[in-house]
Amino acid sequence: MRSSLITIPVLVVYFPVRSEARWAAHTGARETALVKLTLESLDVGFGDEVIVPGLTWQATASVVCDVNAVPVMVDVDPTTLCIDPSKVEAAITPRTRAIIPVHLYHRMADLDRLTEIARKHSLHLVEDAAHAHGSQWDGRGAGSHGVFGSFSFQSSKTMNCAEGGALVTSSEDLYLRVVSQRSCGREQKNGVKVHSGNYRLTSLQAALLRGQLAAMVENAPVFDRNGQALDRAVDAAPGVTSLRRNPRITRQVGYSFCFRYEPLEYDGIAGDVFRRALSAELCWPFESTYAPLNHSELYYPHTKKRHALSAEYLMAITPSRWELPAAEALWKDHAVTSPWPIMGMAPTRARLLTDAIAAGSRNCGHTNSRNSGVFEGGPEWGNRGRRRRGEGVQSDAHGKLLASEASLK
């Protein structure tokens, strides 16, 4: 990775920051806009297709429509929640120009297989690393494995300046094109200029990020260690499993902690009831995933006149044309996510999660008896925990989960 590029060196490989000022200057508008710039700088547009995961924040696909290309949705691996490489090849057509894998929540997409597929078919790999600041694959930072990597600094992210983002690239040519686009199409070295608008970040926001960048260098290994402790805590509990961690992931810093719930192990109790009950039990949010893009309330590209390019194009961008059974099952029944501050919990406290899940399991008759009725009509398991605050698991868990005992900065 070259230091003269649009890059956040410390986020890419955790080399010492060579020029924070340069990094600050090269961050840009929010990530959604930056991915749009990457596609434009790669000359992706009308008539092209871009492969995206069917389970992601809507922006990953909507930016593809914004450059008048077609987002082709591929289902995810139910054990990682990231795009399933075994399904990517089948989605490639002569029109495909790029793949945008997302390192979603608590895992990284399989970069080895995706890089291989991209090379084989001469496609651009653009990593959406909005959830992966500081994660590493085979010792190299998230965002540095494709032609571009993009990071979000929107307010919910592990590094944030309210709204903003950054791109990393190892191509000087693309760097110049994006820098031109970032700043109203101003001409760069070698006469490079690309028609554009204003996608600059303010200096104030960049200043906010400087301290967080240094903190992230120290915090990333802590996040990883604590996330692994939570994985082990989940695996020690009944009816739930941690997400599969590819051995090539050398550091995982997620946007959310995430695991799988198996309703059949709980007499068919719905994922939603489980999530609400666990939230009540631990006084901490446990939620589902984003809605898959074919169900998303935020993905409706037909409402923009500029997308009405032709009847064929409108058909191609209709979200309901995609079948995403793995993503839908995760969203409805299996996935349990919790915001990243849970990774501030000391590993010694991770046991609280095991105990809370086990308590619920006992209450719903996990030991082969029929459903005791505890869950019927709502998250009684969690309500029970609230009513009896001060007793057992509930009292131990209450409040302590929120305490950041691993001294995150």
Ligand X SMILES: Cc1ncc(COP(=O)(O)O)c(C=O)c1O
How is residue 217 annotated by DSSP? H
Q: Give backbone dihedrals phi and psi of 151, rounded to 5 degrees, phi first.
A: -125, 145
DSSP state of 333: I
How many residues touch ligand X under the rule CB under 6 A: the total is 14
| Residue 209 or 240 with smaller CB distance to ligand X | 209
Going 290 to 294 to 295 to 299, the CA torsion angle's sign is positive
By C-beta, is 137 or 274 nearer to ligand X? 137
Three-state SS string over 348-393 comes to HHCHHHHHHHHHHHHHCCCCCCCCCCCCCCCCHHHHHHHHCCCCHH
Amino acid at 163: E
177 binds ligand X (CB under 6 A): no
Minimum CB separation of residue 124 from ligand X in Å reads 17
Q: Is 31 in the site for ligand X (CB under 6 A)?
A: yes
Residue holding tokens 């999530």?
275
* Strand pairing class (148-152; 124-128): parallel
| 79-118 residues near ligand X, rule: CB under 6 A | 102
Q: Mark residue 143 as left, alpha or beta (left: phi above 0; alpha: psi -120 to 50; beta: remaining).
A: left
157 catalytic per annotation = yes
Minimum distance, C-beta of residue 32 to ligand X, in the bound complex (Å): 3
Least separation, in Å, of the C-beta of 60 and ligand X? 5
Does 266 contact ligand X by CB under 6 A?
no
56 binds ligand X (CB under 6 A): yes
Cα pseudo-dihedral 302, 305, 311, 312, rounded to 10: -70
Q: Which stretch binds ligand X (CB under 6 A): 127-135, 169-177, 209-217, 385-393?
A: 127-135
Q: What is the DSSP string of 211-262?
A: HHHHHHHHHHHHHHHHHHHHHHHHHTSTTEEEPP--TTEEE---SEEEEEE-
Minimal distance in Å, beta carbon 56 to ligand X?
5
Choose which of 48, 84, 128, 231 interacts with ligand X (CB under 6 A).
128
Tell me the window of 56-64, 133-141, 217-225, 395-403 that interacts with ligand X (CB under 6 A): 56-64
Q: What's the rounded Cα separation, in Å, for the pair 317 and 167?
A: 26
Indicate whether 60 belongs to the interface with ligand X (CB under 6 A): yes
Identify which of residues 125 and 406 has a Cβ nearer to ligand X in the complex: 125
Q: Which of 88, 32, 105, 41 is nearest to 62 (CA)?
A: 32
- The verdict on 152 binding ligand X (CB under 6 A) reads yes
Q: Which residue in the set 26, 30, 97, 384 belongs to the binding site for ligand X (CB under 6 A)?
A: 30
- Name which position in 131, 260, 275, 349 contacts ligand X (CB under 6 A): 131
CB of 294 to ligand X, least distance (A): 17
Total Cβ atoms within 10 A of residue 340: 22
Considering only 24, 55, 111, 130, the residue that binds ligand X (CB under 6 A) is 130
Contacts of 329 (CB under 8 A, 6+ apart): 78
Does 216 contact ligand X by CB under 6 A?
no
Chain Cα centroid distance, residue 152:
10
Q: Which is nearer to ligand X, 131 or 260 (CB)?
A: 131
Could you tell me the smallest distance in angstroms from the CB atom of residue 363 to ligand X?
34
Q: Residue 277 belongs to what H/E stretch?
A: helix 271-282
Please give the Cα distance from 255 to 341 (Å, whole number): 9
Which range of residues in 11-19, 30-38, 267-275, 319-327 is near ligand X by CB under 6 A? 30-38
Q: Which of 154/361 has CB closer to ligand X?
A: 154
Of these, 144, 154, 226, 361, which contacts ligand X (CB under 6 A)?
154
Q: What are phi and psi of 51, to 5 degrees?
A: -85, 130
Which DSSP symbol is given to 291? Answer: P
**Closer CB to ligand X, 149 or 165, in the complex:** 165
Active-site residue, selected from the candidate residues 36, 87, 120, 157: 157
Among 54, 134, 165, 385, binds ligand X (CB under 6 A): 165
Residue ranges binding ligand X (CB under 6 A): 30-32, 56-57, 59-60, 102, 128, 130-131, 152, 154, 165
Catalytic positions, written as ranges: 157
